[in-house]
Structure 1
Amino acid sequence: MTNTSRYTPPSEIATMTDLRAQIDRLDTEIVRLLAFRQAHIDRAAELKPGEGMPARIEARVHAVLDNVEAKAREAGFDPALARGMWAEMIEAMIAREEAVIGTGEEE
């Protein structure tokens, strides 16, 4: 999990220059974490065929979205925004998996 203690609380930042610099550092860390998440999805595309799993597993999609929404609420992040962002990301990642393993339907 991200260690927010190494960041200055927004209320303690005095200038827009400093605020923007911290936002840029946060964006860098978020992208790094998303890239690491994507590497996990790529590994899932390698593992799923051997376990007889399709790229899209609706129950898993819903579970992830529900979990993200709950975690966002706990963290003080807009839960609807988090759910929407993750839904879009999940669709892109499923498409990435399907490019490797197929859709599981006759093509």
Structure 2
Amino acid sequence: MTTPVLPQDCLDMAELRKQIDRLDVELVELLVARAGYIDRAIELKKDNGWPARIPDRVEEVIENAGREAETRGLDPEIAKTVWRLLVEWSVQREAQVIREE
């Protein structure tokens, strides 16, 4: 694992790329963890007879991401775009299993 270096402390593009690659690994690890929660949601939704898509929750998650991004100085629209893709993937993952059983 690469030691974290602040962006302003990267002395060259090689170091900068190394840090971006390190963050990408961390992001993938977080996505894997999130997918585990989606798998648990599938079980709970099946037990409760709930659909994969709950529109109010979808919008809540996306808006939460946008607000959090804005609070931290990131363009909320990029966060909402990424989260919309993530949530749609999650709903499709849920729908495939819920429909099959």
Please state if 1:81 is matched with 2:78: yes
Which of the residues 12, 25, 47 maps onto 1:28? Answer: 25
Higher relative contact order (CA 8 A, sep 6+): 1
Q: How does 1:1-107 map to 2 (within 5 A)?
A: 7-102=4-99
Displacement of 1:51 in angstroms is: 1.6
5+ residue gaps in structure 1? 1-5, 103-107
| TM-score, normalised relative to structure 1 | 0.86
**Residues 70-100 of structure 1: per-residue CA shift (max 9 Å, x gap):** 0111122221011011101111110110000
Percent pairwise identity: 43
Q: Which moved more, 1:59-68 or 1:47-56?
A: 47-56
Moved more, 6-15 or 58-67: 6-15
Secondary structure of 1:48's match? helix
What TM-score results when the alignment is normalised by the length of structure 2?
0.91
1:30-77 per-residue CA deviation (whole Å, 9 max, x = no partner) reads 000011101110111111111221100000001001100001111222
User: After TM superposition, which residue ranges in structure 1, 4 or more long, deviate above 3 angstroms?
Assistant: none
Shift of 1:7: 2.5
* Structure 2 unaligned residues grouped into runs of 5+: none
Equivalenced residues, count: 98
